[in-house]
Amino acid sequence: MPATLGRIASYIKASGRQTEVIVVDDGSTDETVREAESFRGEIWDLRVVSNGQNRGKGYSVRHGFMESRGEIVLFTDADLSAPIEEADKLLAKMDEYDVAIGSRAINRKLIEVHESRFRELAGIIFNLIVRVILRLPFVDTQCGFKAFRREKCKIIFEQQTIERFGFDPELLYLARHHGLQTAEVAVRWAHSPATKVDMFRDSVQMFLDVVIIRWNSLRGRYPIPGK
* pTM for the structure as a whole: 0.93
Q: Which helix (H) or strand (E) holds 121?
A: helix 117-133
Asked if the model's pLDDT at residue 97 lies above 80, the reply is yes
Task: Determine the Cα–Cα distance for residues 83 and 184; give it in Å rounded to an integer.
Answer: 16
pLDDT value of residue 201: 73
Spatial CA neighbour of 45 closest among 93, 88, 12, 91: 12
Query: CB–CB of 143/187 below 8 Å?
Result: yes
Supply the Cα-derived Rg of the chain in whole angstroms.
Answer: 17
Summarised one tens digit per residue, pLDDT across range 17-76 is: 999 999 999 999 898 899 999 999 999 999 999 999 999 999 999 999 999 999 999 999
| DSSP bridge pairs for 76 | 145
Summarised one tens digit per residue, pLDDT across range 147-204 is: 999 999 999 999 999 998 889 999 999 999 999 999 999 999 998 876 666 666 777 8
pLDDT value of residue 195: 64
Q: Which helix (H) or strand (E) holds 168?
A: helix 167-177
